[in-house]
Amino acid sequence: MAKPLRMLEGYRVLDFTHFVAGPTCTRIMGEMGADVIKVERSSHGDHVRQLGLVRDGMSTYYFQHNHSKRSLALDLRIPRARELILAMIPKIDVVVENFAPGVIAEMGFGYEALRKINPAIIMCSISVAGQSGPLSYKPGYDYLGGSMAGVIDLIGESDRAPSVPAMAIGDISTGVASAMAVGFALLNRERTGEGVYIDASLLDTYFHMQELAVPIVSMRPGKFSMKRAGSSHPTGSPCGVFKAADGYLFLIVQQHEMARLWRAMKRPDLADDARFKTNRDRIKNNQEFRRIFEEWLATFTDRESAIAVLDAERVPCAPVYKVEEAMAHPHMRQRKTVRRVKDPAMGELEIPGMPIKFSTWPDRTDLKASRVGADNDAILTEVLGLTPAQIADLYRDSVLFAAPATQEEKR
């Protein structure tokens, strides 16, 4: 029986991205079967090839964010290199880039230029603040988008400076949103035959994460402002991190679930306590609730025993795991949320799985991340029909780059 095509198999993506947001978008498309051609502009390739653990031309950071892509490395300062890119455009379905606004057009690959060559092309530009508006001139990274969106201000203790989340929440979320948008654009093109330009930004993505405050602030100007509340949620109670005997757990209980919590704690008297009757009452008395709940947690020798009692009453809660604890959990292993892969230079390593699961295509573990320029010959032969002699001339004229083979590949 023939192996079914993956969802995006047959589509070709030209990838001008670097760091995390753009590469997340194209990585998802690559894993879904698209032929993603990552353009790298020097022998060093994407900046993240030097981040994380680095061995023999590969890094953990690069592998995680750029597997399922092929590498085309060429010096775009040379006119012949730019001509090669433009010659590929008629055979490209999607272009993704995340330079600062205006840079891709200066390079000669802006949307207006590309759609003259291929009217059906879809282009997605990812930036910190978008392609238009007073802030569009800014270059930037994840945390800058979060700062301008009012998100970073809400993280941390109320009497201290805002805290920095130690992960690329905005970058990866913007990459996922961009991949979604490209998928929608491809569907629209199937219906209409028309390409489209997609303007994605970290600032817009972060602001889209605002769960509660925006409409309330708009209706109560000057009277309502979200405040940092540390380990508690500023507008919900109980909702936050609580200390147990051997770690922390997160508890979040809505009004209709409070009776379950009182049953689990064997404290039916608290159901009629005026301090805890409503969410507003509990917010006013958050510290008193915390004291009572943490005293109850302290009666257990370990966190898991307390969670078992809460689970029995279906009280929403979870252990606050360290990364290594989350990685080791059988649930994460069974669903391939954590998956083990192999690289010639890095050996075996673990990376995150796809954030969604499809019934037809299980998560792949046979993933590959290319060295700089490793796929030059194959790409130029397949897409442009160049001969070995023509490709050799491009190497001789320094149009193409290629990293040396790994020690494993030489064996």
Task: Assign 2 a pLDDT band (cuts: 50, 70, 90).
Answer: low
Task: Assign 346 a pLDDT band (cuts: 50, 70, 90).
Answer: very high
SS3 category, 350: strand
What average pLDDT does this structure show over 137-156?
95
Buried b (16+ CB within 10 A) or exposed e, 324-333: eeeeeeeebe
If we measure between CA atoms, which residue out of 315, 215, 304, 217 comes closest to residue 264? Answer: 315
Tally the C-alpha atoms within 13 A of residue 272's C-alpha that lie toward its C-beta.
2
pLDDT tens digit string along 231-276?
A: 999 999 999 999 999 999 999 999 999 999 999 999 999 999 999 9
- Predicted local confidence at residue 222, as pLDDT: 92
**Is the pLDDT at 3 greater than 80, yes or no?**
no
What average pLDDT does this structure show over 5-20?
95
Q: How many CB atoms lie within 10 A of CB 57?
A: 20
pLDDT tens digit string along 170-186?
A: 999 999 999 999 999 99
What average pLDDT does this structure show over 15-44?
96
What average pLDDT does this structure show over 119-143?
96
Q: Is the pTM of this model over 0.75?
A: yes
- Predicted local confidence at residue 4, as pLDDT: 76
E-strand spans in 184-289? 196-201, 239-244, 247-252
Task: Assign 128 a pLDDT band (cuts: 50, 70, 90).
Answer: very high
Task: Assign 406 a pLDDT band (cuts: 50, 70, 90).
Answer: low
What average pLDDT does this structure show over 285-304?
97
- Predicted local confidence at residue 359, as pLDDT: 87
- Predicted local confidence at residue 42, as pLDDT: 87
Task: Assign 105 a pLDDT band (cuts: 50, 70, 90).
Answer: very high
CB proximity list for 345: less than 8 A, separation 6 or greater: 55, 56, 57, 58, 406, 407, 408
Which of 35, 93, 171, 204 is catalytic? The answer is 171
Percent of the chain exceeding pLDDT 90 equals 92
What average pLDDT does this structure show over 294-321?
98
Q: Which residue has the tokens 């969604």?
A: 356
Task: Assign 408 a pLDDT band (cuts: 50, 70, 90).
Answer: low
Task: Assign 410 a pLDDT band (cuts: 50, 70, 90).
Answer: low
pLDDT tens digit string along 373-388?
A: 999 999 999 999 999 9
Task: Assign 365 a pLDDT band (cuts: 50, 70, 90).
Answer: confident
What average pLDDT does this structure show over 152-167?
95
- Residue 159 annotated as catalytic: no
Q: Where are the alpha helices (DSSP H) in 275-405?
A: 279-284, 286-297, 303-312, 323-328, 330-334, 376-384, 388-396
**Is the pLDDT at 161 greater than 60, yes or no?**
yes
**Is the pLDDT at 107 greater than 90, yes or no?**
yes
Whether 145 and 207 have beta carbons less than 8 Å apart is answered as no
Q: Which residue has the tokens 């689970």?
A: 311
Amino acid letter, 20? V
Task: Assign 325 a pLDDT band (cuts: 50, 70, 90).
Answer: very high
- Predicted local confidence at residue 404, as pLDDT: 81
Kindly report the average pLDDT of the chain as a whole number.
95
Note the residue count of the chain: 411
What average pLDDT does this structure show over 353-367?
87
What average pLDDT does this structure show over 194-205?
98
CB proximity list for 152: less than 8 A, separation 6 or greater: 143, 146, 162, 163, 164
